[in-house]
Amino acid sequence: MKLKIVSEGTGDTTKVVNAETGEEVEGVINLDLSLDAFHVDAAIVIRDPHLSIDNLNVQEIRQGDSGAHDGTAGNPDNQQHSEQAGFQI
């Protein structure tokens, strides 16, 4: 899906729509634009999106993990717990 940002110059009139159908994208809570003479970059934040993700690498954080790494293999904080995951929301 291609997205299109439509605005009349104010935040109240700005919306994100499906470029092909014109249907408004629901759940948009933030829109950041960065422009220069040659490019436009947009970051769109959507609350509660529908997700379907397969083959995602995840890292489990266990209670007591500090996130610190002191360089020793015996310290449980230095052992990563990774696995493949898939889920749908």
Residue ranges per structural domain of the chain = 3-46, 52-88
pLDDT at 4 over 90: yes
Write down the pLDDT at residue 52: 86
Q: Under DSSP, is residue 77 helix (H, G, I), strand (E, B) or coil?
A: helix
* Between 85 and 46, the higher pLDDT residue: 46
Per the DSSP assignment, residues forming a β-bridge with 57 are 84
Burial class (CB in 10 A: 0-12, 13-18, 19+), 13: exposed
* Between 73 and 21, the higher pLDDT residue: 21
Write down the pLDDT at residue 54: 86
Counting Cα atoms < 13 Å in the Cβ hemisphere of 74 gives 0
pLDDT in tens, 32-82: 999 999 999 999 999 998 888 888 887 777 766 665 555 555 555 555 555
Pairing state between β 52-59 and 3-6: unpaired
Backbone angles phi, psi at 47, to 5 degrees: -80, 135
